[in-house]
Amino acid sequence: MPPPKAAVHPDLESVLVSSARIKRRIKEMGREIKRVYGRDEFTVISIINGAIMFTADLLREIENPVRLDCIRISSYRNETKSLGTPQLIHSLTLDIAGRDVLLIDDILDTGKTLLLVTELIRKLKPASLRTCVLLDKKGRREVNFEADFVGFKIPDKFVVGYGLDFAERYRNLPAIGVLKPARQNPPARA
């Protein structure tokens, strides 16, 4: 008999997307993206920190010439819920005028972050702009926004792992899971 599978993390109530499913879906997403861009070069903008793991793995599935830049958006969350308006705190270094841009985030929730960032990017006059998210919590949308590439549609649960955090923790988990309610209290020292 094989040994029992080690739990991903004791603070998780359940695993929503296993690391094997993430890997499989990212390979498919690489193919979906290549179908749209052909062999052309494009510029990837990754919203950090959350999209770090997803961006790193997705880019390894794509052979096109790519340029990579990152953008940082201030956290406007009270740990598990969105509170206000997201703010840009670190902007781009690459020139994206006339370039094909693929914007990557970890999760599309209320939609406010991607709406803000796409508005900022459009002002820089890219040739085209598409968006790609690993997770889509469609039921939580507060603004009218849909991504061009979506990894998984998920229910309205607060999830961590594979780049997603709770108070900056759990980003390094290889799978995506739902945090136990007892763990959804801010730690004494963030």
Instruction: Please list the active-site residues.
Output: 109
Listing from the earlier edge strand, what are the strands of the sheet with 12-17?
12-17, 176-179, 159-160
| Binding status of residue 55 toward ligand IMP by CB under 6 A | no
Secondary structure of 56-71 as H, E, C letters = HHHHCCCCCCEEEEEE
Closer Cβ to Mg ion, 43 or 165, answer by number:
165
Cβ distance 160 to 169 under 8 Å?
yes
Question: To the nearest whole angstrom, how small is the minimum distance from the Cβ of residue 21 to ligand IMP?
Answer: 17
From ligand IMP, Mg ion, none, interface partner of 103 (C-beta below 5 to 8 A by class): none
What would the two tokens of residue 75 be?
């956290």
End-to-end CA distance of the chain: 42
Closer Cβ to ligand IMP, 122 or 125, answer by number:
122
* Binding residues for ligand IMP restricted to 30-49, rule: CB under 6 A: 47
| Binding status of residue 149 toward ligand IMP by CB under 6 A | no
Question: To the nearest whole angstrom, how small is the minimum distance from the Cβ of residue 54 to ligand IMP?
Answer: 11
* Binding residues for ligand IMP restricted to 96-115, rule: CB under 6 A: 105-113
What would the two tokens of residue 117 be?
């960032």
| Binding status of residue 131 toward ligand IMP by CB under 6 A | no
Residues forming contacts to Mg ion in the complex (CB under 5 A) are 50
d(CA 121, CA 83): 23
| Binding status of residue 164 toward ligand IMP by CB under 6 A | yes
d(CA 173, CA 8): 7
Binding positions for ligand IMP, rule: CB under 6 A: 47, 50, 82, 86, 105-113, 158-160, 164
